[in-house]
C-alpha cells in the first residue's frame, strides 16, 4: 500500500489511537525495542517520532526541522515538526542538529558468491548506509541468489544479473556466458531468465584490442531476447561508437559512461530521444590524493593499504577521469537520468563515488537524488529511495549536511533498515 503525502493529516488522526496505546517514550535510537507495546490485550505497536532533523527527502525536497513517524518498519508520516506535534503520544527521538537522508543504493557491484561472504558483503553495506546493491553479471550457478528473496536483518537488499554475457575473453573471468552466434546469445538470456535473475548484463569492450567485442548482431539478439522476457539489459561499455550502437539496439542501462573520448552532439541527441535510458557513471579514480582517514573507522589500515597506495597524484588517471567526468556533467545537465554504482566489491565505495560525481560537476543535491530516488527506481524498489509516507524506513542519520559537502555522507551516526537500528 502506498500512502501519499496529501493524506498526512488524515493519517495522523487515524494514528492517534494506536499511538496512545504506547507504554513509554524512548529517546535512545539504539533501543527501539523498549517502545514495543507487548500488552496482551492489544495489538503490537512500535511507533516512534524522529524529530528536529534536517530531512533530505530523496526527491530533491529538503525539510528543515522535520519529523517523521516510523511504525512497523515503514514511514507512516513525514512533515515539518510543527505539523507533526498532534501525534503526541508516540515515543520520540530527538534528532536536532542532525541530517537525515534515505539509504543509499548501489546499482553496480560484484559481490561474493558464497552465502557467508555474501551475507558479510550485504551487512557491511548496511553499516555504511547502503540499503540495496545489485550484482552485475559475475554470479555463477552456485551463487545463492535466493538471498534476494529473504529479509535479512541488518543487511542490504540484493539483486543480481546472474551470469552476464560477453564474447570469448580467455584469461578473464569464465563466469560469464561467452557467445559467438545469435542463437547462443538468445540461449544465454533464456538460461538467466530460467534462474530468475533481475536483469541481463552484457560487456561490449575489446579490452584495449585484446578481444573481439560483442558485435551489434549479438548484443541486438541479447537485448531483443531479454525484452521478450521483460528484463532490462545493462551494458558495460568503453567506446562512444558502441554506446551509439547499443542505443540503436534498445539498451536500457549504461553500466559505465563513455570512456574513450568526449561524447558528441549526436550522442546527446540520441540519449534525449530515449528518456528511459539510465546512466550508471561508475567513475574511475580521480588520480588526486583524497582524505581516507574516515575509512579507518570501518576497516583496518592494513586492509586500506591498496587504497592508500593509489591515493597519489596520477596525471594519466586524471586524464581518464576527465573524459568520464565531462561526459557525466554534460549528460546530467542535458537531463539524462543518472543512477549511482561503484563496480567491484567495496562496501564503502558509494561514499567515494558520490564525491567523484560532485567533482565531475553535478551538485550534491543531484548526486543524492541519483544515489537514492533514481537508483531505487532503476532497481524497481518502490519502497526505497525517499523518506516518504508508505516507504520502508531505511534511512541514515548524519552529523553534518551532505548538501554543503557531499563527503558528509560519511559522518554516519545511525543507519536504520526497515525501521531497525543497524548495529555499527
Ligand atoms: Zn562491473
CATH code, domain with 28:
2.30.40.10
Q: Report the distance separating Cα 305 and Cα 367, nearest Å.
A: 28
Which residues, 6 or more positions from 185, have their beta carbon under 8 angstroms from its beta carbon?
Answer: 165, 179, 218, 219, 221, 222, 225
Q: What angle do CA 199, 73, 128 make, to 5 degrees?
A: 60
Q: Is residue 87 a contact partner of residue 19, using CB atoms and an 8 Å limit? A: yes
Cell of 260: 574513450
Q: How many domains, the chain?
A: 2
Same domain, 294 and 204: yes
Residues 321 and 395 placed together within one structural domain of the fold: no
- Show the cell assigned to 2: 502506498
326 Cα: distance to centroid of ligand 1 (angstroms): 21
**Residue 259 and residue 151 in one domain:** yes
Residue 424 banded pLDDT, cuts 50, 70, 90: confident
Residue 398 has pLDDT above 90, yes or no: yes
pLDDT band at 7 (very low <50, low <70, confident <90, very high): very low
3-state secondary structure 252-297: CEECCCCCCCCCCHHHHHHHHCCCCCEECCCCCCCCCCCCCHHHHH
If asked whether residues 301 and 399 sit together in one domain, one would say no
* Sheet strands (E) in 41-103: 47-56, 62-71, 74-80, 91-94, 99-102
- If you average pLDDT over residues 16-39, what whole number do you get? 36
Residues 96 and 109 in one domain: no
Q: Are residues 393 and 371 in the same domain?
A: no
The larger pLDDT score, comparing residue 372 to residue 4, is at 372
Q: Of how many residues is the chain composed?
A: 424
Domain assignment present for 20: yes
Using alpha carbons only, give the angle 250, 251, 254 rounded to the nearest 5 degrees.
155
CA of 421 relative to ligand 1 center, distance in Å: 30
**Could you tell me if 175 and 214 lie in one domain?**
yes
pLDDT score of 363? 98
- Asked if residue 384 belongs to a domain, the reply is no
- Chain-wide mean pLDDT for the chain? 88
The pLDDT, as a whole number, for residue 117 is: 97
Distance (Å, whole) CA 104 – CA 376: 9
Q: What is the largest CA-CA distance in the chain?
A: 72
**One domain, residues 369 and 403:** no
Alpha carbon of 203 to ligand 1 centroid (Å): 9
Question: Percentage of the chain surpassing pLDDT 70?
Answer: 88
Tell whether 317 and 394 lie within a shared domain. no
| Gap from CA of 282 to ligand 1 centroid (Å) | 9
Residue 316 inside a domain? The answer is yes
Determine the Cα–Cα distance for residues 255 and 86; give it in Å rounded to an integer: 46
Cell of 109: 557491484
Of 26-35, 215-224, 324-333, where does mean pLDDT reach its minimum? 26-35
Query: What nine digits make up the cell of 131?
Result: 540499503
HSE toward the beta carbon, residue 290, CA cutoff 13 A: 16
| H or E segment to which residue 413 belongs | strand 412-417
Q: What is the CATH number of the domain that holds 117?
A: 3.20.20.140
**Rounded CA separation 253/247 (Å):** 9
Q: H/E element holding 402?
A: none
- 176-200 burial, b at 16+ Cβ within 10 Å, e below that, comes to bbbbeebebbbebbeebbeeebbbb
Q: 23 CB contacts (<8 Å, ≥6 apart)?
A: 35, 37, 39
Q: Are 252 and 361 found together in one domain?
A: yes
Tell me the C-alpha distance between 351 and 358, whole Å. 11
Instruction: Tell me how far the alpha carbon of residue 343 lies from the centroid of ligand 1, in angstroms.
Output: 4
Query: How many Å lie between the centroid of ligand 1 and the Cα of residue 256?
Result: 8
Beta strands in 23-178 (DSSP E): 47-56, 62-71, 74-80, 91-94, 99-102, 104-109, 130-135, 157-160, 165-166, 177-178
The Å distance, Cα 109 to ligand 1 centre, comes to 6
| Residue span of the structural domain in which 416 resides | 5-102+389-421
In a domain, 192, yes or no: yes
The Cα–Cα gap between 331 and 28 comes to 44
Q: What is the pLDDT of residues 238-287, one digit of tens each?
A: 999 999 999 999 999 999 999 999 999 999 999 999 999 999 999 998 99
Is the domain of 63 the same as that of 170?
A: no
Q: What is the pLDDT of residue 38?
A: 36
Residue 164 alpha carbon to ligand 1 centre in Å: 10
Strand, coil or helix: what is 349? helix
Distance 340 CA to ligand 1 centre (A): 12
* 62-71/74-80 β-pairing: antiparallel
Same domain, 320 and 359: yes
CA dihedral (209, 212, 217, 223) positive or negative: negative
- The 10 Å Cβ neighbour count of residue 167 is 22
Residues 6+ apart with CB under 8 A from 78: 5, 8, 55, 57, 63, 66, 67, 68, 69, 387, 388, 389
Is a pLDDT exceeding 80 seen at residue 302?
A: no
Residue 173 CA to ligand 1 center (angstroms) comes to 12
Res. 33: pLDDT tops 50: no
pLDDT at residue 82 greater than cutoff 90: no
Amino acid at each position: 500500500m502506498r500512502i501519499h503525502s496529501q493524506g498526512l493529516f488524515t493519517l495522523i488522526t487515524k494514528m492517534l489511537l494506536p499511538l496512545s496505546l504506547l507504554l513509554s517514550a524512548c529517546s535512545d535510537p539504539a533501543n527501539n525495542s523498549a517502545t514495543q507495546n507487548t500488552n496482551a490485550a492489544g495489538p503490537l505497536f512500535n511507533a516512534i517520532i524522529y524529530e528536529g532533523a534536517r530531512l533530505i527527502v530523496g526527491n530533491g525536497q529538503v525539510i528543515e526541522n522535520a519529523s517523521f513517524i516510523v511504525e512497523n518498519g515503514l514511514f507512516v508520516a513525514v512533515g515539518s515538526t510543527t505539523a507533526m506535534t498532534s501525534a503526541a503520544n508516540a515515543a520520540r527521538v530527538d534528532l536536532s542538529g542532525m541530517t537525515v537522508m534515505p539509504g543509499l543504493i548501489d546499482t553496480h557491484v560484484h559481490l561474493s558468491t558464497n552465502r557467508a561472504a555474501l551475507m558479510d558483503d550485504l551487512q557491511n553495506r548496511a553499516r555504511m548506509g547502503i540499503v540495496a546493491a545489485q550484482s552485475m553479471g559475475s554470479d555463477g550457478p552456485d551463487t545463492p541468489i535466493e538471498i534476494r528473496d529473504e529479509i535479512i536483518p541488518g543487511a542490504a537488499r540484493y539483486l543480481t544479473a546472474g551470469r552476464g554475457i560477453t564474447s570469448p575473453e580467455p584469461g578473464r573471468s569464465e563466469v560469464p556466458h561467452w557467445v559467438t552466434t545469435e542463437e547462443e546469445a538468445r540461449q544465454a538470456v533464456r538460461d538467466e531468465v530460467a534462474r530468475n535473475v533481475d536483469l541481463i548484463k552484457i560487456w561490449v569492450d575489446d579490452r584495449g584490442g585484446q578481444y573481439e567485442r560483442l558485435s551489434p548482431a549479438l548484443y541486438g539478439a541479447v537485448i531483443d531476447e531479454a525484452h521478450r522476457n521483460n528484463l532490462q539489459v545493462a551494458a558495460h561499455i568503453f567506446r562512444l561508437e558502441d554506446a551509439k550502437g547499443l542505443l540503436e539496439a534498445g539498451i536500457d542501462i549504461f553500466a559505465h559512461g563513455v570512456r574513450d573520448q568526449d561524447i558528441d552532439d549526436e550522442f546527446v541527441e540520441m540519449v534525449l530521444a530515449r528518456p528511459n535510458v539510465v546512466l550508471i557513471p561508475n567513475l574511475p579514480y580521480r588520480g588526486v590524493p583524497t582524505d581516507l582517514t574516515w575509512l579507518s573507522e570501518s576497516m583496518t589500515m592494513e586492509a586500506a593499504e591498496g587504497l592508500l597506495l593509489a591515493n597519489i597524484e596520477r596525471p594519466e588517471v586524471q586524464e581518464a577521469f576527465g573524459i568520464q567526468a565531462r561526459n557525466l556533467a554534460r549528460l546530467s545537465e542535458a537531463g539524462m537520468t543518472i543512477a549511482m554504482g561503484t563496480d567491484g566489491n567495496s562496501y564503502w565505495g558509494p561514499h567515494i563515488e558520490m564525491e567523484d560525481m560532485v567533482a565531475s560537476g553535478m551538485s550534491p543535491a543531484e548526486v543524492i537524488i541519483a544515489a537514492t530516488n533514481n537508483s531505487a527506481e532503476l532497481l524497481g524498489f518502490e519502497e526505497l529511495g525517499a523518506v516518504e509516507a508508505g516507504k520502508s524506513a531505511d534511512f541514515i542519520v548524519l552529523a553534518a549536511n551532505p548538501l554543503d559537502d557531499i563527503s558528509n555522507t560519511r559522518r554516519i551516526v545511525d543507519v536504520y533498515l526497515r525501521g531497525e537500528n543497524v548495529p555499527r
